[in-house]
Amino acid sequence: MNDFEGVSMSVVEESISKTGVTVVIENDSEKEMEYGESYALEKKINGRWYKVPIILKGNHGFEAIAYTVPPSSAVEWKTSWNGLYGTLKNGEYRIVKDVMDFREAGDYDKYNLAAEFEINE
C-alpha cells in the first residue's frame, strides 16, 4: 500500500461525509500515472483494516476509464458511495484506489494508494 514512489493520496478534510469524500492524488514523480473510478472502502476495527460490505444487490461495477496525472501535478477526485456502501457509521476508514505507472498497452505497474479519514458526526 502507498508504495508508488512520489505518488500519494490524501483526503480533503472539509469534504468528509457519511456518503462521500474528495481525495487529492499528487504525482511528485517524473512518471505519468493513471487512475480510474474504482475504489474500495475499509474500516479500522481493533487496529486492523476490514473491507466495508457492499450493500448493492446484484452486479455492480465502475466505469472503465483512465484519468492521467502528469508528472509534478495533482488532481482532485470526488466520490459518493451512498449507492454502493450506504451511509457510513462513525469510525476510522480509508479509501483505497488502484493507480498505474502506465508506459504503453500491456506495459504498466499497478499500485494501491490509501488515504485515511474519520467520520465523527
Q: What is the pLDDT of residues 70-103, one digit of tens each?
A: 999 999 999 999 889 999 999 999 999 999 998 8
For the chain, give me the number of helices (H) and strands (E)? Answer: 1, 9
User: What pLDDT is recorded for position 108?
Assistant: 86
What pLDDT is recorded for position 117? 98
The contacts of residue 11 (CB under 8 Å, 6+ apart) are 21, 22, 23, 24, 95, 115, 116, 117
CATH architecture of 7-119: Sandwich (2.60)
Q: What is the pLDDT of residue 1?
A: 86
Per the document, the length of the chain is: 121
**Beta-ladder partners of 41:** 95
Given this model, what pLDDT does residue 57 score? 61
Per-residue model confidence (pLDDT) at position 120:
92
pLDDT averaged over every residue in the chain: 92
How far is residue 99's CA from residue 68's CA, in Å, rounded to a whole number?
A: 10
- Across the chain, which has 121 residues, the per-10-residue mean pLDDT values are 93 96 96 92 97 79 84 96 93 96 85 96 79
Q: Are 102 and 32 in contact (CB under 8 A)?
A: yes
N-to-C CA span, the chain: 28
The predicted pLDDT at position 66 comes to 87
86, three cell numbers: 450506504
pLDDT value of residue 58: 59
Calpha distance 97→75 (Å, rounded):
14
3-state secondary structure of 13: helix
In this prediction, residue 59 carries a pLDDT of 62
